[in-house]
Every structure is written in C-alpha cells, then in structure tokens.
C-alpha cells in the first residue's frame, strides 16, 4: 500500500511540474538567489542592525548557503554553485520521499530541508583542507621566489625561472603576471598589486605589498623571509589547536548517535514503545523535533569550524 501511495504521489508531483511548466532545479535556483542575494536597502540594513542579536534557525540556514557561495567565489569555483543547487534539490526531494515512506509529514519536511544542506556542509568542511593545502603551496612557492629574488634583485626573473616548481592554483596567477609584464605593461608595481587580489590570503597579500615596496627600496628584500615564515607559524597553530577546533562537531555527532540509537533500542527492547514512537502523532512530533534539533546543531557546529588564519 505504501508503494502504491508513493507512486501516486510521485505521478502527481511530476504532473504538477509538467502542467505549470516548472523545473524543480530552476525553482530551487531562484529560491537560492533570493536567499544569497540579500537586500541592501537602508530599511533592511537598519532592521539587521537592530535585530542582529536575534538569530533564528532560518538565518543560520541562509548564512550557511551564503558562506558556501563565498567559499566557492574566493576559490574561483563559482560555477560549482549551480551543481550544489542541483544536488540540494535532489536531496530535498529524497528527504521528502523518505519522510513520506515513514508516514510522517513532519519528518518529511525536516528531512527535506536538512538533507538539502549536505552539499553546503561539504563545501564548508572542504574549505579547511583547501586552506591548509593553499598555505603549504604558498609557503613553498613564495620561499623559492624570495630566495631567487634575494639573489637576482629582479622579481620578474625570480618568478619566471621558478614557474616549473609551481602548482595550481598558484601557477596560473604567476603565469599571468609574467605574461602581463612581458607583453602588456611595464608597470611592475601595478601588475603585482593586481596579482595580490587574485588569491584570498592575507600573508600572500602582505608579501605582494612588500615586493611592491622593494621596487623603490631594494634593501626591503630582507623583510620578505620573515613574512614567508608566518605560514609556518599558522601551520603550527593549526596543528596544535586542530583537535580543539573539531570538538563541537564531535560532541554533536555523539548526540546524533545517541538520539538515533534510542528508537533502534526501543525496537529491540520494547516493541510497544517503538510503535508508540513511530505510529502515534505524539511520537511523530517528538521524532520530528529531535531531528530538527539535530540538523540545527550540526549546522551550528559545522559553521563554527574555521581554520586559524593570519589577520592584520
């Protein structure tokens, strides 16, 4: 009977989409645009300022989506956002279907929204690995360039002779710099300033500004190694506090394990309790509320995981 009901529901859903010529992916994309592209009029700004301490679960959801888009933008992967929206739409539908199969409309709604956040959580967690790899690559590349620059006193030559040591995402940035100086402009400080904006890293930007200053005063080259050493300090700090950084997520995952384990335990220990939990409206509401709290807690824990970054 459940299978027939699910099949009829699916046909109705598909029929409505075809009748009104609505694409689920397009609909979700428009919804994401409304969430991400926030209003910037003066009335909205005043409301945000007055109510900035009154955060709601919906605000946490929109913040997660905006942060994921910002991460993709800073890592030059903005095109991936469309894939995220598509994946979120599919997971939203899967969550709805799972809830309907459990004959719990409340869990269906919670699962749909919660599972649609999975792709954005993945981007947030992947950012930590990306930042660490970027710092390691910058440390290696800038160290090599600084050594060559100290010897030759020519930043263009120092970069050009070390291009074969570089890897993406740094290689295209430095290749573009060499190309600009060789064929487009002779303004080295201007090209360095433009290059500094292509990578979102404060130590890298500081190194670029220092190299710009070195064009007028070569004696400042001696300050470059100290700037590059900051990458090592950041790496050591992340290694020391990496365990503490993931503590909130581990606590939440433990809570998830316990809450998911309770209904399973009821199933084996007392079947009457289990049936009361999954069949009665009171039990269905309790399960939906617990699941909602789990998703809100996971979202908050993942949002708070941030690698240590250098700031001036």
pLDDT of 18:
59
Instruction: Report the C-alpha dihedral over residues 304, 55, 110, 120, rounded to 10 degrees.
Output: -40
What residues does each domain of the chain span? 24-116, 137-230, 246-312
Q: How confident is the model at residue 11, as a pLDDT?
A: 61
| Total residue count of the chain as it appears in this document | 312
C-alpha distances in angstroms, 61 versus 2, 235, 262?
32, 30, 27
Classify residue 153 as left (phi > 0), alpha (psi -120 to 50) or beta: left
Tell me how crowded residue 186 is: count the other CB atoms within 10 A of its CB: 9
**Residue position matching structure tokens 């913040």:** 63
**Which string of DSSP letters, residue by residue, matches 240-279?**
HHHHHHTHHHHHHHHHHHHHHHHHHHHHHH-HHHHHHHHH
The span from the CA of 177 to the CA of 274, in Å, is 66
pLDDT for the residue 50: 43
Burial grade of 179 (CB within 10 A; 0-12, 13-18, 19 or more): exposed
The span from the CA of 211 to the CA of 181, in Å, is 15
Cα(259)–Cα(135) distance, rounded to whole angstroms? 38
Token couple for 43: 């009335």
Contact 267, 274 (CB under 8 A): yes
**Residue 89 to residues 17, 23, 117: CA-CA distances in angstroms?**
14, 11, 10
Please report the pLDDT score of residue 110 as a whole number: 93
Q: At 7, is the secondary structure helix, strand, or coil?
A: helix
Residue 8 in tokens: 């009829």
Taking the C-alpha atoms of residue 103 and residue 271, their distance in angstroms, rounded to an integer, is 18
pLDDT tens for the 312 residues of the chain, in order: 455 555 555 666 566 555 556 565 555 555 555 555 555 554 554 444 444 445 555 566 788 888 888 888 777 777 888 888 889 889 998 998 898 888 888 999 999 999 999 999 999 888 888 888 899 999 999 999 999 999 999 999 999 999 999 998 899 999 999 999 999 988 999 999 999 999 989 999 999 999 999 999 999 999 999 999 999 998 888 877 766 777 888 899 998 999 889 888 988 988 888 898 888 899 899 999 999 999 999 998 888 887 777 776
**CA 281, 282, 287, 288 torsion: positive or negative?**
positive
User: What pLDDT score was predicted for residue 277?
Assistant: 86
The percent of the chain in helix, strand and coil, each rounded to the nearest 5, is 80, 0, 20
Q: How far apart are CA 65 and CA 73, in angstroms?
A: 12
pTM comes to: 0.73
């Amino acid at each position: 009977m459940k299978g027939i009901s699910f099949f009829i529901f699916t046909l109705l859903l598909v029929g409505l989409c075809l009748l009104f010529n609505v694409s689920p992916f397009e609909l979700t994309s428009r919804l994401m645009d409304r969430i991400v592209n926030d209003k910037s009029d003066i009335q909205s700004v005043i409301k945000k300022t007055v109510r900035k301490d009154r955060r709601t679960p919906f605000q946490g959801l929109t913040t997660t989506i905006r942060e994921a888009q910002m991460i993709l933008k800073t890592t030059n992967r903005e095109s991936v956002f469309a894939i995220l929206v598509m994946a979120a739409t599919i997971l939203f539908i899967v969550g709805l279907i799972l809830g309907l199969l459990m004959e719990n409309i409340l869990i269906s709604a919670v699962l749909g929204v919660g599972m649609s956040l999975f792709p954005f959580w993945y981007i947030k967690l992947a950012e930590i690995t990306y930042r660490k790899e970027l710092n390691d690559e910058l440390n290696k590349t800038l160290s090599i360039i600084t050594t060559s620059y100290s010897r030759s006193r020519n930043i263009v030559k120092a970069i050009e002779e070390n291009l074969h040591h570089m890897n993406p995402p740094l290689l295209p940035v430095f290749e573009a710099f060499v190309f600009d100086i060789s064929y487009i402009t002779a303004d080295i400080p201007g090209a360095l300033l433009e290059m500094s904006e292509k990578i979102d890293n404060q130590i890298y930007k500081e190194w670029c500004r220092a190299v710009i200053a070195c064009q007028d005063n070569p004696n400042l080259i001696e300050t470059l190694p100290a700037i590059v050493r900051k990458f090592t300090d950041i790496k050591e700090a992340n290694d020391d506090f990496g365990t503490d950084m993931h503590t909130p997520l581990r606590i939440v995952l433990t809570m998830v394990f316990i809450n998911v384990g309770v209904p399973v335990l009821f199933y084996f220990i007392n079947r009457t309790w289990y049936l009361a939990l999954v069949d009665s409206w009171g039990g269905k509401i309790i399960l939906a509320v617990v699941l909602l709290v789990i998703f809100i807690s996971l979202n908050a824990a993942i949002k708070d995981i941030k690698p240590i970054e250098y700031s001036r």
